[in-house]
């Protein structure tokens, strides 16, 4: 494009932006929340029929059952790729379990550890970027140094990961969202999972925090397959390396679902030795309501297909509008994920914050630029996370059209400068 052509396009973007601001929009694409229609589709989970007893006759109204209800663990075990006996069903939030796992490891030795993580000088975690801000929040809260590792289309850059963990025993963990990652929708390749399971780590107590939050959240009819991290860790002589997390937050109700923790038998024993001190057992009535609603693993998958029907049009709309507005301009690139909750929009260097600020001034709330990186600092200021599930389709369309206008304006002006 010639300079004159570019100047003409920027002028057009300025006019479009003025018109956008004049509309006085009030739209919100900030957080990945289920829409009211998705929640309505799960309303069956509100009712309880019959006696509140487990299949083995246990009265679920009483204390006990620290492992969680076996029936709900059986429903999720296959998709979370954890043997039922090694999968715990807990409270309403998997983030809470990740937080607790970090705190338990800080205050008490994980299996294989020489010392508590709180006593490790320079304690650090690897953070594939872009990633999930709340993972980074846990590290920041507890003073754990975060080392960014670039994501590739196959997962974290394993050459970097292998080099870092081999040379520094203070690196104790890595955050992974292995399927339909937040925010770029990446599915880890089999080779990435194998290398994570097999790599030599200087720390004998290295842990993979395997946050499989989107294990069943497919947007297409051909669900992505993920290699079995627990089995691969065991096969490669590191049986205690992976902590698996998941929840039904984006399956039934966000904040009123069931969360899961799965790992090796030794890690489960360690986990229970801590959780038994903090609770006499989870909410088994909620777990039973989930069993009655989902029935079994096939019922879970069927429900996920219903939810996919509701959110796929929103993801399609984002891709269609971005393609129409920005395709071929060289001003942005983005992914069209096959599952999960997010789309990651990449703009030219130094533009993301300004795009988000311009969108905000036009009444379109977007997740703050930088949130996808440790300490909220995207060093090249390029990544914008789009969360299209919550608003209704016309709102998604209006918000993305407006966002594209902001990209044309900010990135165009930058190119012209
Ligand atoms: N993990 C990831 C990757 C997420 O994106 C989210 C929510 O957006 C969570 C965990 C939160 O899960 P929960 O509701 O089970 O705490």
What pTM was computed for the model? 0.97
Q: What is the DSSP letter of 51?
A: -
Domains, the chain, in order of start with CATH, read 3-30+301-416 (3.90.1150.10), 52-295 (3.40.640.10)
Residues in contact with 293: Cβ distance below 8 Å, sequence separation at least 6, in sequence order: 42, 44, 45, 252, 299, 303
Atom of ligand 1 nearest to the CA of 181: 3
Q: Whose CA is nearest to atom 4 of ligand 1?
A: 213
Q: Whose CA is nearest to atom 7 of ligand 1?
A: 32
Query: Which mutation among 38, 188, 249 tests ligand 1's pocket best, with the greatest number of atoms within 8 A of CB?
Result: 249
Residues in contact with 376: Cβ distance below 8 Å, sequence separation at least 6, in sequence order: 133, 368, 370
| Of 91, 182, 75, residue with least CA distance to 128 | 182
Atom of ligand 1 nearest to the CA of 341: 5
Q: Whose CA is nearest to atom 6 of ligand 1?
A: 213
Instruction: Give bridge partners of residue 126 from the DSSP assignment.
Output: 147, 174
Distance 95 CA to ligand 1 centre (A): 6
CA distance 218 to 224: 7
Q: Is the ipTM of this complex over 0.95?
A: yes
In order along its 417 residues, the chain shows pLDDT tens digits of: 788 988 999 999 999 999 999 999 999 998 899 999 999 999 999 999 999 999 999 999 999 999 999 999 999 999 999 999 999 999 999 999 999 999 999 999 999 999 999 999 999 999 999 999 999 999 999 999 999 999 999 999 999 999 999 999 999 999 999 999 999 999 999 999 999 999 999 999 999 999 999 999 999 999 999 999 999 999 999 999 999 999 999 999 999 999 999 999 999 999 999 999 999 999 999 999 999 999 999 999 999 999 999 999 999 999 999 999 999 999 999 999 999 999 999 999 999 999 999 999 999 999 999 999 999 999 999 999 999 999 999 999 999 999 999 999 999 999 988
| Of 294, 319, 321, residue with least CA distance to 305 | 294
| Helix H or strand E segment including 246 | strand 242-247
Burial of 186 (0-12, 13-18, 19+ CB in 10 A): buried
Atom of ligand 1 nearest to the CA of 177: 3
Query: Which mutation among 211, 214, 258, 372 tests ligand 1's pocket best, with the greatest number of atoms within 8 A of CB?
Result: 211
Residues with Cβ within 6 A of ligand 1?
32, 93-95, 132, 177, 182, 211, 213, 247, 249, 254, 259
284 neighbors 118 (Cβ within 8 angstroms): no
Burial of 356 (0-12, 13-18, 19+ CB in 10 A): buried
């Amino acid at each position: 494009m010639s300079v004159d052509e570019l100047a003409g396009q920027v002028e057009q973007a300025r006019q479009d932006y003025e018109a956008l601001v004049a509309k006085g929009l009030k739209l919100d694409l900030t957080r990945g929340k289920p829409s009211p229609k998705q929640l309505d589709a799960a309303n069956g989970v509100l009712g309880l029929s019959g006696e509140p007893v487990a299949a083995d006759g246990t009265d679920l109204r009483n204390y006990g059952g620290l492992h969680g209800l076996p029936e709900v663990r059986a429903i999720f075990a296959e998709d979370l790729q954890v043997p039922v006996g090694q999968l715990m069903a807990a409270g309403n939030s998997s983030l809470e379990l990740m937080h607790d796992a970090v705190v338990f490891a800080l205050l008490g030795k994980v299996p294989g550890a020489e010392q508590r993580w709180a006593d490790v000088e320079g304690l650090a975690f690897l953070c594939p970027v872009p990633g999930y801000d709340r993972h980074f929040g846990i590290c920041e809260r507890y003073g754990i140094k975060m080392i960014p590792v670039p994501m590739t289309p196959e997962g974290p850059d394993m050459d970097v990961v292998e080099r870092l963990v081999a040379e520094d025993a203070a690196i104790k963990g890595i955050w992974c969202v292995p399927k339909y990652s937040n925010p770029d929708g990446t599915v880890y390749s089999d080779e990435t999972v194998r290398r994570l399971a097999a790599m030599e780590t200087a720390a004998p107590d290295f842990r993979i925090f395997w946050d499989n939050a989107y294990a069943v959240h497919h947007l297409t009819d051909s669900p992505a397959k993920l290699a079995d991290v627990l089995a691969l860790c065991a096969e490669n002589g590191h049986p205690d390396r992976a902590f698996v997390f998941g929840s039904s937050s984006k399956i039934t109700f966000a904040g009123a679902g069931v969360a899961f923790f799965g790992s090796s038998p030794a890690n489960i024993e360690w986990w229970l030795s801590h959780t038994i001190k903090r609770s006499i057992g989870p909410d088994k009535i909620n777990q039973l309501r989930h069993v009655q609603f989902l029935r079994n693993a096939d019922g879970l998958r069927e429900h996920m297909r219903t939810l996919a029907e509701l959110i796929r049009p929103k993801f399609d709309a984002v891709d269609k509008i971005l393609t129409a507005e920005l395709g071929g301009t060289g001003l942005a690139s983005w992914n069209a994920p096959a599952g999960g909750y997010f789309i990651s929009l990449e703009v030219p260097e130094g533009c993301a914050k300004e795009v988000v600020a311009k969108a905000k001034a036009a009444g379109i709330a977007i997740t703050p630029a930088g949130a996808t990186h440790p300490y909220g600092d995207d060093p090249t200021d390029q990544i914008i996370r789009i969360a299209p599930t919550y608003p209704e389709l016309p709102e998604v369309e209006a918000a993305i059209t407006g966002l594209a206008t902001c990209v044309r304006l900010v990135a165009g002006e930058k190119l012209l400068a």
